[in-house]
Amino acid sequence: MVAGQGDKLVIAIDVMGGDHGPRVTVPGAALALKREGEKRRLHFLLHGDEAQIQAELNRHPDLKAASTIVHTDQFITMDEKPAQAIRRKGTSLFNAITSVKTKDARAIVSAGNTGALMAMSRMILKMMAEDLERPAIACGWPNSNGMGTVLDVGANVTSDAHQLIEFAIMGAAFHRAVRGVENPKIGILNVGSEDVKGHEDVREAHRLLREGGLGLNYYGFVEGDDLFSGKVDVVVTDGFTGNIALKTAEGAARFIKGLLKDAFKSSPFAMLGGLLASAALKVMAKRVDPGASNGGPLLGLKGIVIKSHGGAEAWAFSNAVSVAISLAASSYEDDIKKALANLSKAMPVVQSSALPKSNAVADAGQAVEETKVS
């Protein structure tokens, strides 16, 4: 912990990350403090340019009283290559991640470059277990029961059966910590619900989860339309499929929002109907807004790292900070460690029949460079 902070829960913020930097990250942290501060004692390490941070902090006295500025005039740009970024020590992102490594903070939140965040986190914090190759990115997903969890949504383009099982373990622990569901129901995303459907790795993961005795609440295969049905709490897939599903869902939400706007402007009666339904429409819009589920953890690291949408506004960034606070205050890391130990005992490591694994740090960042969580 930071000297003098005692039993406060300390969260590090990469203030310079994202499309908007301090203009969004500082008021976002202030909103999170207002929402979460009544439940627990919080302190923030604000990593970045002191002059820019101080100018924003002056508008948020409560956050100012609960923060320490860690100055640096260096930061990672949104288009910087991960291989270049990991060589640059002393940036706001590097310092924020390092504060988790040194235990000055319990978690770090960044809206910055996804590839750089992935590669730098893996380099500094290392993986939770030796056979874990890369982190998995999880995201909240609105469904008929409230909010589910989908992973991986971009960190691992291909995933073998053993990795899919690891995703199930980590996703369940995340969902339990953040959503409060004690025994979340898990499904594997597939092209059909029958046992014979899907490629070899998906079928093998399905068989082992069903028969492996891991103590997980495994439902079975789910299909694309089940992402919103609430049939399961946690949906497991590879990062290629997950990222396409995420971007498709976000695009569909924007498309439907546009159609509704056009429809309610089409005639005077339609405008009147829109006015009468405005309260309900606002509730619906907020429910499907990607900002409501903003905050994707990089699961599998020796430390809590949360990725915010790069273009997030203050309200959405505050939700990512809340995810970090929830995980930091939970036992989710211990849950994952115990479950991974049970996995090693319960079954042999399943080798992929597809592409060979790569464990290069730079490759970990490159894998997500074109599949960023926007």
The three-state secondary structure class of 299 is: strand
The pLDDT value recorded for residue 362 is 41
How far is Cα 310 from Cα 115, in angstroms, rounded to an integer? 12
In this structure, what token pair is assigned to residue 270?
A: 């339609």
The pLDDT value recorded for residue 6 is 62
Identify the H or E element spanning 328.
helix 314-328
- The pair phi, psi for residue 173, each rounded to 5°, is -65, -40
In the chain, the number of structural domains is 2
Instruction: Kindly state whether residues 115 and 174 are assigned to the same domain.
Output: no
The pLDDT value recorded for residue 345 is 66
The pLDDT value recorded for residue 82 is 87
Task: State the distance between the two ends of the chain, measured CA to CA, in whole angstroms.
Answer: 31
Instruction: Kindly state whether residues 17 and 121 are assigned to the same domain.
Output: yes
DSSP single-letter state for residue 349: P
Instruction: Kindly state whether residues 177 and 75 are assigned to the same domain.
Output: no
Provide the total of helices (H) and of strands (E) in the chain, helices listed first.
Answer: 14, 11
List beta partners, residue 366.
none
Instruction: Kindly state whether residues 61 and 26 are assigned to the same domain.
Output: yes
How far is Cα 349 from Cα 161, in angstroms, rounded to an integer? 9
Instruction: Kindly state whether residues 173 and 282 are assigned to the same domain.
Output: yes
Instruction: Kindly state whether residues 323 and 340 are assigned to the same domain.
Output: no
Instruction: Kindly state whether residues 147 and 272 are assigned to the same domain.
Output: yes
Identify the H or E element spanning 76.
none
Task: Let me know: does 271 contact 264? Beta carbons within 8 Å.
Answer: yes
pTM for the predicted model, two decimal places: 0.82
Task: Let me know: does 234 contact 184? Beta carbons within 8 Å.
Answer: yes
The pLDDT value recorded for residue 367 is 45
Task: Let me know: does 43 contact 9? Beta carbons within 8 Å.
Answer: yes
Instruction: Kindly state whether residues 246 and 355 are assigned to the same domain.
Output: yes
Task: Let me know: does 232 contact 222? Beta carbons within 8 Å.
Answer: yes
Mean pLDDT per block of 10 residues along the chain (374 residues) reads: 66 95 96 90 96 96 95 92 90 96 96 91 89 83 89 86 90 89 94 87 90 84 92 94 88 84 86 81 69 84 93 92 92 82 62 40 43 43
CATH number at residue 151: 3.40.718.10
DSSP single-letter state for residue 361: H
Instruction: Kindly state whether residues 265 and 283 are assigned to the same domain.
Output: yes
Instruction: Kindly state whether residues 118 and 152 are assigned to the same domain.
Output: no
The pLDDT value recorded for residue 351 is 38
Instruction: Kindly state whether residues 220 and 117 are assigned to the same domain.
Output: no
Strand-pair category, 296-299 with 136-143:
antiparallel
Domain span holding position 222:
136-293+333-374
Instruction: Kindly state whether residues 81 and 213 are assigned to the same domain.
Output: no
List beta partners, residue 164.
none
How far is Cα 136 from Cα 373, in angstroms, rounded to an integer? 12
